[in-house]
Amino acid sequence: MAEHVGIFGGRIPAEVETLSKDLKDLDKELFRKILKVVVSAVEGKDCGEAMVEIGESGSLSEEKLSRIVSGLFKLLREALRFPGSSVKQEGFKEDLRELRISEEFIADFASVVFGNRRSALDAAVTQRGPRLPSLMEFRWRVDVAISTSSLARALQPSVLMQLKLSDGNIHRFEVPVSKFQELRYNVALILKEMNDLEKRSILKIQG
Amino acid sequence: MAAIVKETQSIKEAVAHINAIDANKFTRLLSRILQKLHLKGERSFSEDEEEKLQTALAMEKQALHLVLETTSFLLEQAVYHNIKPASFKQQLENIQVAPDKAEAFCQAWATAGPDVVEKIRQRIFAPKKLEHVGWQLNLQMGQSSQAKLKAPHAVLDLGVREEDESEHLQNVFVEFSHKELLEFYNKVRLHSFSFPLDCLANAVSHDTYLQTVTHSFLFISFFHSFFLSFAARDDSGSAGLPYLMSLLTFVRANPIISHCYLL
């Protein structure tokens, strides 16, 4: 890369600046534990218990622990912002060296950001971004109306659909056969458009 | 065919009034009523129009109401039984409707009848009905937690109308990533879902519904098991045969199904 901007784009946040001082005399095992907790926090899991455990182990003051955790969290969040393909591992390690973090910690960090858990981390981050409700559960039923009060022999098929969305709403509605065909057609059309878009964007919109 | 209407006192009265109406005016009256027959809860004529009719047909309000209601009732019964025009004419003459009026009924029914039946057939009961399908395809370029994305995602806008609110269309927005949309599409087009639907849609055009309903489900299960037996066969190629034989014996043993298949 011609211009190496660095993961923070020139402005290093305060928590990360002080990180090097706090990490200097930190035990490696303890660092690894804290890093694990921070990773699960980024994934959105509840880490209250783990934090309490580390705090009670006694070797760190509460203040120091909270400074380390916030610095690591910020660092990890920023590192995960860029897709794995556009950040070179060496460049990333250089950035960390500039922050005066020791080598072995850098190695641990790089293994998180470029390791095989990266795609799971990315997926978790995307899920927590702002979204419209997505489909959690989809159930259906096909009915045939044999007769009604207006028609002795109706024989009209229809579809009953139940959608459970991620925001907790359950929508249940009847779909006439013509609308069902329209829905199928539209979904197929969107899929085709998505495929075309993905093929094109590989060629045009580069990193 | 059984009578579609019993000759009660009010029917007799109404028929007397109907027979007195001029033939041309009656034909127009019939076509107007047929147009609005499939709309439930809507009267065929507004207040003003009814008043004009009163003067045009030289009838009192009560008599006019009786005529309109009886004509609607007769047409509704015709729809219910899906009666043939000739049969309809016969039945009307049985309740003393004059021949020219019966002919007018018959003509109107022959021309507009099948449409009305189809419209009423399309009506389904449901608290909520899907009326509108819209969509939007976005390419997500970035997010506060992720820069340089290139994630296409789609938003489906399903317009659902409540049964009693004719104006208000509730929009249900559902977002899908590429993977999620593919899963949804597979669910919606999977054989176990749309195969019976397509099958039934063809089968229900026949009149003997019991035969066709069992026919379609047997059709599905037969083919399903046929393919299953093929998939399960070993190199000898005959492993599927016992399966088919047992299916056939089952079919023969069941009187209803074997009647359908004449096995």
- The mean pLDDT value for A36-65 works out to 78
CB B79 within 8 A of CB A151: yes
The CA distance from B78 to the nearest CA of chain A, in Å, is: 9
A178 phi and psi angles, rounded to 5 deg: -65, -40
Work out the percent of chain A whose per-residue pLDDT is above 90: 7
Output the pTM of the full model: 0.64
Whose CA is closest to B174, among B131, B133, B128? B133
ipTM of the complex: 0.71
Which of B7 and B206 is assigned the larger pLDDT?
B7
CB B74 within 8 A of CB B26: no
Residue A145 above 50 pLDDT?
yes
- Sorting pLDDT into bands at 50, 70 and 90, what band is A19? confident
CB B86 within 8 A of CB B1: no
Alpha helices in A44-128 (DSSP H): 48-56, 62-81, 89-98, 103-114, 118-127
Question: pLDDT digit string (tens) for A58-83?
Answer: 677 778 888 888 888 888 887 777 77
Query: Which residue in chain A has the smallest CA separation from B155?
Result: A132
In chain B, where do the E strands start and end? 128-140, 151-162, 169-177
Query: Which residue in chain B has the smallest CA separation from A43?
Result: B145
For residue B240, the 8-state DSSP code is H
Query: Which residue in chain B has the smallest CA separation from A167?
Result: B174
Q: If you count residue pairs, one on A and one on B, with CB atoms under 8 Å apart, how many are there? A: 166
Average pLDDT across chain B, whole number: 74
Chain A contact for B197, CB < 8 A? yes
Q: Report the pLDDT value the prediction gives residue B231, as an integer from 0 to 100.
A: 46
**CA dist., res. B122 & res. B125, Å (int):** 10
- Sorting pLDDT into bands at 50, 70 and 90, what band is A55? confident
Query: Residue A110: is it exposed, middle or buried by C-beta count within 10 angstroms (0-12/13-18/19+)?
Result: middle
Q: What contacts A72, CB < 8 A, 6 or more positions away?
A: A19, A34, A35, A38
Which of A17 and B182 is assigned the larger pLDDT?
B182
Chain A contact for B163, CB < 8 A? no
Kindly determine whether residue B184 and residue A179, on different chains, have CB atoms separated by under 8 Å: no
Q: Report the pLDDT value the prediction gives residue B256, as an integer from 0 to 100.
A: 44
Candidates A191, A200, A205: best to mutate against B (most CBs of B within 10 A) is A191
**CA dist., res. B248 & res. B256, Å (int):** 14
Kindly determine whether residue A176 and residue B133, on different chains, have CB atoms separated by under 8 Å: no
What is the secondary structure of A125-180 as a DSSP string?
Answer: HHHTSS---BEEEEEEEEEEE---SS-SS--EEEEEEEEEETTS-EEEEEEEHHHH
Q: What contacts B145, CB < 8 A, 6 or more positions away?
A: A77, A80, A81, A125, A128, A129
Q: Report the pLDDT value the prediction gives residue A91, as an integer from 0 to 100.
A: 77
**A179 to chain B: which residues are within 8 Å by CB?**
130-131, 133
**B181 to chain A: which residues are within 8 Å by CB?**
187, 190-191, 194
The CA distance from B10 to the nearest CA of chain A, in Å, is: 22
What is the secondary structure of B150-172 as a DSSP string?
Answer: -EEEEEEEEEEEESS-SS-EEEE
Query: Which residue in chain A has the smallest CA separation from B200?
Result: A157
Which of A13 and B20 is assigned the larger pLDDT?
B20
Largest distance between two CA atoms of chain B: 87
Chain A contact for B3, CB < 8 A? no
**A78 to chain B: which residues are within 8 Å by CB?**
none
- The mean pLDDT value for A150-169 works out to 88
The CA distance from A57 to the nearest CA of chain B, in Å, is: 32
**B207 to chain A: which residues are within 8 Å by CB?**
153
For CA atoms A200, A202, A203, A206, the dihedral sign is: positive
Please provide the distance, in angstroms rounded to a whole number, between the alpha carbons at the two ends of chain A: 12
- Sorting pLDDT into bands at 50, 70 and 90, what band is B257? very low
**B145 to chain A: which residues are within 8 Å by CB?**
77, 80-81, 125, 128-129
Nearest Cβ partner for B130 among A173, A187, A191: A173
Which of B45 and A9 is assigned the larger pLDDT?
B45
Residue A176 above 70 pLDDT?
yes
Whose CA is closest to B101, among B11, B24, B7, B6? B24
Kindly determine whether residue B180 and residue A135, on different chains, have CB atoms separated by under 8 Å: yes
**CA dist., res. A181 & res. A140, Å (int):** 15
Q: Report the pLDDT value the prediction gives residue A7, as an integer from 0 to 100.
A: 62
Kindly determine whether residue B172 and residue A80, on different chains, have CB atoms separated by under 8 Å: no
Q: Report the pLDDT value the prediction gives residue B253, as an integer from 0 to 100.
A: 46
Q: Report the pLDDT value the prediction gives residue A54, as an integer from 0 to 100.
A: 76
3-state secondary structure of A36: helix
**CA dist., res. B237 & res. B243, Å (int):** 13
Q: Report the pLDDT value the prediction gives residue A204, as an integer from 0 to 100.
A: 64
- Sorting pLDDT into bands at 50, 70 and 90, what band is B220? low
Q: Report the pLDDT value the prediction gives residue A49, as an integer from 0 to 100.
A: 79
- The mean pLDDT value for B233-241 works out to 44
The CA distance from B180 to the nearest CA of chain A, in Å, is: 8
| Least trusted range by pLDDT, from B45-49, B116-120, B188-192, B218-222 | B218-222
Amino acid (one-letter) located at B142 = G
Q: 83-112 in B: which are within 8 Å (CB) of A? A: none
Nearest Cβ partner for A173 among B129, B135, B148: B129
Which of A180 and B208 is assigned the larger pLDDT?
A180
3-state helix, strand, coil in chain B (%, to 5): 60, 15, 25
| Least trusted range by pLDDT, from A147-161, B62-76, B229-243 | B229-243
Displacement of CA B53 from its chain's centroid (Å): 33
Kindly determine whether residue A138 and residue B120, on different chains, have CB atoms separated by under 8 Å: no
Work out the percent of chain B whose per-residue pLDDT is above 70: 69
CB B170 within 8 A of CB B159: yes
Question: Please, which residues bridge with residue B161 across strands?
Answer: B129, B169
Question: Please, which residues bridge with residue A171 across strands?
Answer: A163
Question: pLDDT digit string (tens) for B145-200?
Answer: 777 777 888 999 999 988 776 777 888 999 998 889 998 988 877 544 555 566 66
**At which residue do the structure tokens 């087009």 appear?**
B189
CB B6 within 8 A of CB B91: no
Q: Report the pLDDT value the prediction gives residue B232, as an integer from 0 to 100.
A: 46
Q: What contacts A12, CB < 8 A, 6 or more positions away?
A: A99
Query: Which residue in chain A has the smallest CA separation from B185?
Result: A187
CB B112 within 8 A of CB B79: no
Six token digits for residue A181: 């065909």
| Least trusted range by pLDDT, from B16-20, B135-139, B184-188, B257-261 | B257-261
Chain A contact for B2, CB < 8 A? no
